[in-house]
Amino acid sequence: MRCLLIDDDIPTVEVLRDLVNWSEYGITEVFTAHNIRDAKLFFEIGAPDLIICDIEMPGGSGIDMIRWVRESGYDSAFIFFTCHESFEFASTAISYSADSYLIKPLNKIQLEAALRKSVEALKRKITLGEYRRLGEVWLKNKDLVERSFWRDVLTAAIPPRPDLIEGEIRKRALPLSAERGYVLFLVSVSRSGVDGQWDDSTFHYALCNLSSEILFGRPDQDRVIPYQSEHQLYQAIILDGATDSGKLKADGERLIRLCKRYLKCDATCYVSEEKNIAELARAKSELERLDASNLIFRGVLHFQKERFTYDTTERYSLDIDLFASLFIQKEKVQIVNRLKKELETLAGRNRLDSVTLHAIREDFLQVVYSLLARNNIQAHRLFADEVAQRLFQKSESGVFDFMKWAHFVTEKTIETVKEALQSEGVVEKAKRFIQENYHRDLGRDDVAASVFLTPDYLAKAFKTDTGLTIKEYVNEIRINKAKQLLSETTESIGRIAMETGFDSISYFSTVFKKVTGETPNAYRAKHGASR
């Protein structure tokens, strides 16, 4: 702590400074001033904690000093001393929260008593200020603390035992009870159904605020927990168990409407039965399973006690012959529309469960793979890219994702078959692939894979179109490049052999002579840059 002594009488200030053992009171710095003007300058480097001040001084009294300090917003402690006992001075000093009022000549015992009183008051003030600061920090971060608690509960990071949960509540100083009843309100949105302008974090933020406004009446609620799975974006919302089911239904339906209007997405809501905190993690898993099994009852609110009912008395089979015929005729639009109509019909009759959707996908793939095989196209290569794999994985999440996948497969299958039937187009693609990759270790299988055809089928088409085998064409491209390097550069024969895809000089020389009728050295001597 810092102390400032103010008196126009210099000897008095010096005696006062030397009279007291300041360190006993926790005071580490003592400054002196002989008028109010000089005293105010010390505040520019930091307000003193304690001021001991004469009252009657030229250029401004001690009363003027304490008035300025208080009006400036400083909270320094004050001890006054003066030659005159004046009720007016004393009452004014008290009105500005002075700690003590001493009469000269200074009495050491009285001064030390006044110092103890002021220092103890300062310590209490500092402690209370720290408590107030900590309280403000707690209030500022309360939402984060409570949100972290609910996230730990829902993920079972806190084991689902009432005693452990109660311990965490006490540790985090939360106004909760492990035995109270709560309702879990789950909002589910398909990631594929979210507008591309949103990234996951921004969408979660917008949905969190919208959910909070509707269910709690204010944004950024500490009981809204966003998370996600591979295919879904979720918001788990913890509500008090006493919430009326009619209000929950109305709020959920309003949230679904506003999601469609403002976030341009279809949300589905699920409401658990009343649970204590230890049961919420299991309730979350049950609602997620309910969501995973929900293919056709989306875009509405469901209570946990309700169950989706599907008519599975008669299993559906896709008309394979019909779709095979449509593929042969290359009727892309009819294929997609017919498949969509089949799914909508099944959904309208409550017959489209996850088992049926899986069976339809497998039957559809059977048609596609059969067509590709007849045209010597390798399906596993055709659908090996990242987009195809992602669409396939999500295809059983719902009707929307299934149709996206089916449209992609139909388009790619028919266009690839068209190219395969136009051998010239396929051969040109193969030739371009060879020209771009002749320097690599390139075989017939690599070239066939680049156009999704079987090696035998491409070999026949290539020979028919060019009069050369694939290997002969590869060597021709390589030798032409080698001839250019031999005539235009001074690179070594070995280096040129490597750059043109040959794994040895001897093999390079053999092929070069077979194609050109002379060795690489002889060719360079005749056509080289030095010549």
CATH code where residue 87 lies: 3.40.50.2300
CA distance 275 to 287: 13
Same domain, 269 and 363: no
Alpha-carbon torsion 484, 485, 488, 493, what sign?
Answer: negative
Q: How many domains would you assign to the chain?
A: 4
CATH code of the domain covering residue 479 = 1.10.10.60
Cα dihedral 149, 151, 157, 163 in deg (nearest 10): 40
Number of H helices, E strands in the chain: 22, 10
Domain endpoint, select from 106, 123, 143: 106
- Measured distance CA(152)–CA(146) in Å, rounded: 10
Q: Would you list the DSSP string of 386-413?
A: HHHHHHHHHTTS-HHHHHHHHHHHHHHH
- Whether the pLDDT of residue 257 is over 70: the answer is yes
Dihedral angle computed from the Cα positions of residues 455, 460, 464 and 469, in that order, rounded to the nearest 10 degrees: 60
Mean pLDDT of 92-116: 82
Handedness of CA 199, 202, 208, 211 (dihedral sign): negative
197 occurs within a structural domain: yes
Q: How far apart are CA 208 and CA 187, in angstroms?
A: 10
- Specify the DSSP class assigned to residue 22: G
**C-alpha span between 179 and 247 (Å, rounded):** 23
> Does residue 188 carry a pLDDT above 60?
yes
Tens of pLDDT, residue by residue over 31-70, are 999 999 999 988 888 889 999 998 888 888 888 999 999 8
- Domain annotation covers residue 135: no
Picking from 89, 106, 123, the residue at the C-terminal end of a domain is 106
- Identify whether residues 182 and 276 lie together within a single domain: yes
Residue 125 placed within a domain = no
Identify whether 126 is part of a domain.
no
Does the structure show a pLDDT above 70 at 142?
A: no
Which pTM was predicted? 0.51
**Same domain (yes/no): 412, 431:** no
Is the domain of 292 the same as that of 238?
yes
Residue after which a domain boundary falls, among 246, 272, 303: 303
Residue 215: the pLDDT is 92
**Per-residue pLDDT for 461 more than 90?**
no
Contacts 24+ apart (CB under 8 A), 302-306: 302/268, 302/269, 302/270, 302/271, 303/245, 303/270, 303/271, 303/273, 304/270, 304/271, 304/272, 304/273, 305/273
400 and 497 co-located in one domain: no
- Average pLDDT, stretch 384-399? 88
Predicted pLDDT at 409: 95
CA 438 to CA 423: how far, in whole Å? 22
CATH code of 201's domain: 3.30.70
What are the C-alpha distances in Å from 437 to residues 7, 23, 416, 420, 433?
95, 85, 22, 22, 6
Residue 291 clears pLDDT 70, i.e. is over it: yes
What is the pLDDT averaged over residues 105-123?
Answer: 85
- C-alpha angle 32/35/41, rounded to 5°? 70
Same domain as 299, residue 182: yes
By 3-state DSSP, what share of the chain in percent is helix, strand and coil, each rounded to 5? 60, 10, 30
pLDDT value at position 131? 64
Do 192 and 296 have their domain in common? yes
pLDDT score recorded for residue 531: 47
Is 128 inside a domain boundary? no
Is pLDDT at 295 greater than 90 in this prediction? Answer: no
**pLDDT (average), residues 168-185:** 90
In the predicted model, what is the mean pLDDT of residues 265-272?
94
Assess if residue 354 is contained within a domain.
yes
* Residue 123, domain member (yes or no): no
Task: Tell me: do 12 and 79 sit in the same domain.
Answer: yes
Query: Quick one: 457 and 412 in the same domain?
Result: no
Q: Are residues 325 and 415 in the same domain?
A: yes
Q: Which domain holds residue 480?
A: 424-527
Percent of the chain with pLDDT over 90: 36
134 within a domain of the structure (yes/no): no
Pairwise CA distance, residues 343 & 358, whole Å: 12
Please give the share of the chain, as a percent, with pLDDT higher than 70.
Answer: 94
- Pairing state between β 77-82 and 100-103: parallel
Does 184 lie in the same domain as 296? yes
User: Do residue 385 and residue 446 come from a single domain?
Assistant: no
Give per-residue pLDDT as tens, 499-531: 999 888 899 999 999 889 999 999 988 887 554
